[in-house]
Amino acid sequence: MNRAVLSVRNLSVSVQTGLGLARVVDRLSFSLREGEVLGLVGESGCGKSITAAALMGLVPSPAGIVTADQIMLGDKNLVQLDEASLRRVRGSEISMIFQEPLTALDPVFSIGSQLSTVIRRHRGENRHQARRSSVEMLERVGMADAHRIMQSYPHQLSGGMRQRVMIAMAMACRPRVLIADEPTTALDVTTQAQVLEQLSELGQSFGTAILLITHDLGVVAQACDRALIMYCGRIVEEAPVEALFTAPTHPYTAGLLAAVPRISSAQVQRVQAIPGLVPHPAALPDGCHFADRCPRADSQCRTLTPQLQAVDGQKSIHRHACHHPLSSPSHAH
């Protein structure tokens, strides 16, 4: 098995809200292995994007409070690095594609200027070398007219083109880890498939492990090797993608899958919504945060927090945090 390039242990993030201090990420632990695409999945507001910001050291202080036992990137513990050291790591060893490229790109500088700056800063190339490397990266992400794109400004490009520019910028220095935060949001399905394919190809070519943050289970099925299901700041299920779709063991995962529209049947089928509402992060219930929406919940679920445990002795391959899980893969139909 490939070794871990990113190992996170007990990551927590708290922020101030109108109802007081809220823990939006709660003791998150996971590993990302070389060459792997790991999906971080959940509803809007579950803590996915702020997890990414915390890993990059981008949670603003003092509004946000980040604690962790460790965030190991190779042999570096990012928790122990000062801001100057983090700046050297960001972009070169760990990079991020943000959710909305139009706001992530600087509107007053050309694409060529922004991409070349990243390459010059982290790879030490001169102006001419950085420009040539920038053109090569744009061509690698599918830009047919890379020289014209170099002269363009963000507002002159389509959403899909801007996202490709962000991929080129994030991968320019061959990072060990790439965090992609909803990289296909607002893209049409054809462009979405192309962007995901380019991410996968570049990851394999450069040996980059990818943490793919999404709420779209279709993206998970298409692009990921393994997935983490997140609810109210906690991981409730971790599984290989095939096991996740064929035999989910946490009721929340099953609810997400049941809410996906099906087109395979000739009959019209109603989408099954998960009942209830997501609790406010500053007023989370005791025990399992999903208990009030779960048909299997009992008094134990409302008082005792479930811990991640292996499904049918599969060690770390498939785990869930549930007192009353659904049938495990070995019993699933």
Burial of 185 (0-12, 13-18, 19+ CB in 10 A): middle
Q: What pLDDT score does 273 carry?
A: 86
Q: What pLDDT is stored for residue 333 in this prediction?
A: 33
pLDDT above 90 covers what percent of the chain?
A: 67
Convert the pLDDT of each residue in 131-140 to its tens digit. Answer: 999 999 999 9
- Quick one: average pLDDT of 198-221? 92
What digits encode the pLDDT tens for the residues 56-77? 999 988 889 999 999 999 999 9
The pLDDT value given to residue 73 = 96
d(CA 283, CA 304): 17
pLDDT greater than 90 at residue 184: no
pTM recorded for the entire structure: 0.91
Phi, psi of 126 (to 5 degrees): -80, 180
Domain chopping of the chain, boundaries: 4-224
Note whether 233 and 47 are within 8 A (CB).
yes
The pLDDT tens digits of the residues spanning 225-277 come to: 999 999 999 999 999 999 999 999 999 999 999 888 777 666 667 778 899 89
Q: Check whether the bond before 281 is cis (ω within 30° of 0).
A: no
Tell me how far apart the alpha carbons of residues 274 and 93 are, in angstroms, rounded to a whole number: 39
Distance, CA of 85 to CA of 57 (rounded, Å): 11
CATH number of the structural domain 4-224: 3.40.50.300
Residue 84 tokens read as 């100057």
